[in-house]
Structure 1
Amino acid sequence: MRLQELLKQQRLQNHYTQAQLAEKLFVSTQAVSKWEHGQSVPTIDNLLMLSDLYNLSLDELVQGSPFFKKPYVVGHRYRRSRVIMFMIGWLIVSIFLSGFNFKIWSTLMIMLMFIEGFLSPLLTKDYWIIESDDIAIRQYGQGFIFKKLLAKNQQLQHVRYDDLAQVTIKYQSREHITVFDFAPDSFKMWVTAKDGRQWALDFGAHVQDFLPQFVNYLQRQGVTVNDDQQIVDLLLRGESLYNHFNAGKSGATKAN
C-alpha cells in the first residue's frame, strides 16, 4: 500500500474530513488532498503531527506496521541448552513415574515416547529469518526427532533478495470436518528464486506486526510481491484474516 493510501486510510479510520485534518495540521485542504492523491508528500513536521494525532509511530504511519529490527525471526527456533535442561527434567519425572524404582529401559521408553509425541513437533517446526540482505530459511526433514535435529543438510539456507524472482502471499481456508478439528488454515509465503527453487514459508503469530513493512522492504529491493487476495490491505484495516476468508462458515470467530 502506497503512502497516499495509508494517509487516506488513517484519516478515514479516525473520522476526519480533509478540511478537519487540514485545520488540525495548520495546512490547507488542498495540501491534504494532494497528499492523498500522491501529488506531494507531507513534510517531516507534518508526519510527526500526524503520528501524534493518530497515536501511531512513524513506521506505522508511513509503512503500515511497527518497526521491526532485523534479523527478525518468524516462527520459533529451538535452543539446544533448553532441550537438554528439559530432557534432564523429564528424566527426573520419568523416575517418579516409575515409582522410585529406577528401571532404565522403562524410564527411557517413557522419555522417548514423550519426546517423539509431544516435544518433536515443537522442536522441529520450520522457521525463517528476515535479514538485511537475505531470507534465512530453516526447514526440517522427516523422521525421528534426533535425525531431524542432527541432519547435516538441514542448515540455514540463505536466499538473497536479488536472487528472488517473486514472492506470493496466500491464505487458504480449510474445511473443518468436526467441532474437534482445530487444525489452522494455511497462511504461507511462497518464495521463488530465479533459478527455480521454491520454498513455502509459514507465517507465525502477530503477522500484522511485520508483514506490511516487510512487503514494502521487499518491493524496495526490487522483488515482485503477489498479493492477489489483498492480505496486506486487510491487515492494515485491522481485519481478522480468519473471519474474512471464512465468512459465512459456522464458527468463524477466531482472531488472526
Structure 2
Amino acid sequence: MEISQILKENRIKRKLTQEQVAKAIFASQKSISNWERGKTFPDIDSLIRLANFYELSLDNLLLEGSAIVNEMKKKVKTYSLQKWSLLGPQLTNYLLFAMLMVIGNSKEQSLVLMSLIVAAGITNGISTLYFSKQLNDVDVHKYGNPWIKKITIFLGVLFISYCIISATLKLLSN
C-alpha cells in the first residue's frame, strides 16, 4: 500500500480533517492534501511526526520499493550528479585560459587555437549530454525546466560552429 493511502486511511479512521492533522504535526493543510493524493511526499521529519501521530511504524511507511523511497533515492542521485556537473564548464574555463596564452599570428599558433576552441566546445557538449541523460534517468525534469537542456545544446552547437568557422576563416586569411 502506498504512503498516500496509508496517511489518508489513518486520518479518516480517526475522523480528523486535514487541517487538524496539519496543526498536530506542524505542517500546512496543502502539504497534507498533496501527501494524501500522492502528489508530493513528506520529508523525513514530517514522516517521523506522522508516524508518531498515527502510532505507525516507520518500517510500514518506508517499505523498500515504495514511491517515497524511490523519490528519496532520486533526490540523492540528483544531488550527487549536480556535484559532478561542473566538471565540463571548469574544463572549458581552463581551455579558454590556455587559448589566451597561445594567441599569435602564425598558422601553427592559429591551428593550436582552433584545436583548443573545438576541444572546449566538445568538453562542454559531452558533459551537458551526459548529465542531461543522467538527470533524465532519475526523472529530474519534474523539478526543473525541460527547455534548459534544449537551449543549452542549441547554444553549444552554435558556439562550436561559430568557433570552427571563425578559426577556418582566420587560417585562410593568413
Provide TM-score, normalisation by structure 1.
0.24
Flag the structure with larger Rg: 2
- Greater relative CO, 1 or 2 (CA 8 Å, sep 6+): 2
Provide TM-score, normalisation by structure 2.
0.32
- Choose between structure 1 and 2: higher helix proportion: 2
